[in-house]
Chains A and B, each alone.
Chain A
Amino acid sequence: MLRSRQLLAGTAATLLVFGAAACGGTTKNNSSDTGSPAPTAASANPNAPLKSGLKIAYLPKQLNNPYSDVETSGGKAAVGELKGEYKLVGPNDASASSQVSYINTLIQQQQDVIVIAANDPNAVCPSLNQARQAKIKIVSFDSDASKDCRDVFINQATTEGIGESLVKMASEQAGGSGEIAILSATPNATNQNAWIDVAKQTLKKPEYSKLKLVKIAYGNDDDQKSFQEAQGLLQSYPNLKVIVAPTTVGIAAAARYVSSSSYKGKVAITGLGLPNQMREYVKDGTVKKFALWNPADIGYLAAYAGAALASGQITGAEGEKFTAGKLGEYTIGKDGEIVLGPPTEFTDANIDQFNF
């Protein structure tokens, strides 16, 4: 009896430690300050020269992911141009908290800039703010950290930019008029739905009035399902001119179906795709043009933004300008966002310059 009592007492003691605090009553509604304090920004000097020898560290969501490998390769090239020290670290799993140990390590190593794709916008926050207190500049890319714990965010593309670009490509390939259909991912995919909403708005503009969106199909980002949905679209809508697939899985499946069917050359496929997956369909003429942001440019721009921050050219405030090497001049938008620009368009002429 005594034995289990002792254990009970132990448990109860632990409970009491916390129960003792149970008199304040802090709830979601009455706790006003929920963020950790962020260091205040200094003033920017647009004419400050870019420092050389800056230590710029990349912390992607996880290592050995082909997409983020391309992004960081762009960063490596930029850090080389800036004559800085490039470093790439990252966890093996994309879990929310595994990045924190790496941030702590980078603080210890006194890096000048940390470029991070956050696995969880909030879990990395306390550590990132510790880094900022240690005078390290934080650039987020790919997926943003909470905006009060980073200096700037490199946004690959705006929702508007993607949506409008999808309609523009569809219109070009339909010859300005006719029936088009969308082959999306899942019915509740956040990104795709936002792009499709913009696309629908864009279609209402006078210059696109002759285009008719007849159907939105969902391939669930599953290759086989997307293939069947593409097939279904072409059978149900014999006058269909273009299938727009704003998902890399969908566009590849649709292109594969059309390239081996009698519709080849009659129905155009466009949307967002990966050059390596789409190369053969561009070469065999099934696909004339598709788009995606260039991941290497994201890493490249992040390095220049980090260097501009660390050199005092910018502080992350709206309206500040800086030059990002070969990409040209950028202006910081609201909430420290820097938009990479319109998506890169891939055609038979340029596709061989890209390997991702």
Chain B
Amino acid sequence: MSEAKRRLAGWDGIIILLTVAVLVVASLTVPTFGNGRNVTFLILDLLPIVLVALPMTMIVVTGEIDLSVASTLGLTSSIMGYLWNRGMAIETIIPLCLVAGALLGAFNGFLVTGLGLPSLAVTIGTLALYRGLAFVVLGDGAVADFPWNYTGWVTGTLGGGRVPHVLILIVSLALIFGVVQHGTPFGRSLYAIGANAQAAHFSGIRVARTKFWLYVVSGAVAGLVGVLWTLRYSSARADNGSGLELAVVAAVLLGGVSIFGGKGSLPGVLAGVVLLTALQNALRLEDVSGQALNIVTGALLVLSVLLPNLATAIRGAWQRRKLRQAAAQ
């Protein structure tokens, strides 16, 4: 089987088809779903999830996780508000926020690779730590007077049409991450690490160094999203983005990335993000309540973990039966 065919037959293929199906059905049945303004809203809604999911996919493929992303976002948002209040220029603040995000990621990376601690525990710890620091930096208040040419750019569209500016950012970053993950030796090494870190180490892959840099990139992207979030809502707050890590991990798993590492593709994850956001958007337009939305998202996530495992189990049982029959003859 060719690579493309194998992929289509796998879980990520199913998710891509399902996403297309949801988009088609929603456009046909929900009157306002397909119109230009809603597409703009949809893209703005999926912006933070999709950007954070790019490095998260790589991290989960290596068998690790980064749950601190939303708190990194909140802390960079706080830092942004703090520096703005101190009179620093926004053009200086934005790169500083990305560096701050990268440093926060590097701290995660150091704890995971330098000290060899489990990433789940480390990033749950920094999830609380970074969020706490965010409140130390900015307190309960909000900073809101960011310049209109920046906040307007984030929510604005190309030439006043229906294509939001941020779509350029999403597409270019997705392309960069997609090429690195699926078209370079580095990308292949992530799968090797996830499948068997020890074997990867003995075949010459620098496992620790690779993971360390993945956390740095994850932190930097979370910092970038912190900036975008702050500008989109014109509001720097310590509680910005809380709970986002769950939406990201849900989308990554839904997209067919194995939580145990070694498996998954970026197109699948992108489809997972679109599926989750589009479904929520369409159901909301149909006046489905927030609680019911949570039920749908939760059920989808459980199914996405359950179904591939079930399929593997059934296939395994089928093969064992065939083997037994062959042995009996």
Question: Which residues in A have some Cβ–Cβ distance to B below 8 Å?
Answer: 2-4, 6-8, 10-11, 13-15, 18-19, 21-29, 31, 33-36, 63, 87, 89-93, 95-97, 100-102, 104-105, 107-110, 120-123, 125-126, 146
Residues of chain B within 8 A (CB-CB) of A122 are 142, 144, 233-235
Residues of chain B within 8 A (CB-CB) of A13 are 176
Q: 16 A-B residue contacts at CB 8 Å?
A: A7-B180, A7-B217, A10-B176, A11-B98, A11-B102, A11-B216, A22-B89, A29-B87, A31-B146, A33-B147, A34-B144, A93-B243, A95-B242, A101-B45, A108-B38, A108-B41
A6, A15, A126: the one within 8 Å of B151 (CB): A126
Q: Contact between A11 and B285 (Cβ–Cβ < 8 Å)? A: no
Tell me the bound Cα distance from A178 to B104 in angstroms. Answer: 60
- A34-B147 in contact given A14-B173, A92-B291, A107-B37 (Cβ < 8 Å): yes
Q: Contact between B290 and A90 (Cβ–Cβ < 8 Å)? A: yes
- A101-B213 in contact given A14-B224, A31-B147 (Cβ < 8 Å): no
Q: Contact between B217 and A11 (Cβ–Cβ < 8 Å)? A: yes
Q: Is B309's beta carbon under 8 Å from chain A?
A: no
Q: Is B287's beta carbon under 8 Å from chain A?
A: yes
B41, B95, B243, B290: the one within 8 Å of A18 (CB): B95
Tell me the bound Cα distance from A284 to B221 in angstroms. Answer: 62
- A18-B98 in contact given A89-B287, A122-B233 (Cβ < 8 Å): yes
Tell me the bound Cα distance from A29 to B88 in angstroms. Answer: 9
4 new A-B contacts at CB < 8 Å, known A10-B217, A18-B91: A36-B151, A108-B37, A122-B144, A122-B234
Tell me the bound Cα distance from A87 to B91 in angstroms. Answer: 43
B98, B213, B240, B287: the one within 8 Å of A15 (CB): B98
Specify the chain B residue showing the minimal Cβ separation from A120.
B235
B186, B237, B290: the one within 8 Å of A63 (CB): B290
Task: Give chain A nearest CB distance to B165 CB in angstroms.
Answer: 12
Q: Say what secondary structure dominates the interface of chain A.
A: loop
Interface size on B, residues (CB 8 A): 69
Tell me the bound Cα distance from A26 to B41 in angstroms. Answer: 28
Task: Give chain A nearest CB distance to B206 CB in angstroms.
Answer: 8
Tell me the bound Cα distance from A10 to B220 in angstroms. Answer: 10
Q: Contact between B91 and A109 (Cβ–Cβ < 8 Å)? A: no
Task: Give chain A nearest CB distance to B59 CB in angstroms.
Answer: 12
Specify the chain A residue showing the minimal Cβ separation from B146.
A34
Task: Give chain A nearest CB distance to B233 CB in angstroms.
Answer: 4
Tell me the bound Cα distance from A97 to B144 in angstroms. Answer: 13
Residues of chain B within 8 A (CB-CB) of A6 are 180, 184, 186
Tell me the bound Cα distance from A123 to B206 in angstroms. Answer: 44
Residues of chain A within 8 A (CB-CB) of B92 are 22, 25
Tell me the bound Cα distance from A14 to B186 in angstroms. Answer: 19
| Segment 135-191 of B: residues with Cβ below 8 Å from A | 142, 144-152, 155, 173, 176-177, 180, 184-186, 189
Residues of chain B within 8 A (CB-CB) of A25 are 89, 91-92
Tell me the bound Cα distance from A28 to B149 in angstroms. Answer: 13
Q: Contact between A11 and B284 (Cβ–Cβ < 8 Å)? A: no
Residues of chain B within 8 A (CB-CB) of A2 are 185-186
Residues of chain A within 8 A (CB-CB) of B173 are 14
Tell me the bound Cα distance from A10 to B98 in angstroms. Answer: 13
Residues of chain B within 8 A (CB-CB) of A26 are 89-91, 147, 149-150
Specify the chain B residue showing the minimal Cβ separation from A93.
B243
Q: Contact between A3 and B229 (Cβ–Cβ < 8 Å)? A: no
Q: Contact between B148 and A35 (Cβ–Cβ < 8 Å)? A: yes
Task: Give chain A nearest CB distance to B209 CB in angstroms.
Answer: 6
| Segment 31-89 of B: residues with Cβ below 8 Å from A | 32, 35, 37-38, 41, 45, 84-85, 87-89
Residues of chain A within 8 A (CB-CB) of B41 are 101, 104, 108
Task: Give chain B nearest CB distance to A125 CB in angstroms.
Answer: 6
Residues of chain B within 8 A (CB-CB) of A91 are 290
Residue of A13, A18, A63, A93 most packed against chain B (CB within 10 A):
A18
Residues of chain B within 8 A (CB-CB) of A104 are 38, 41, 45
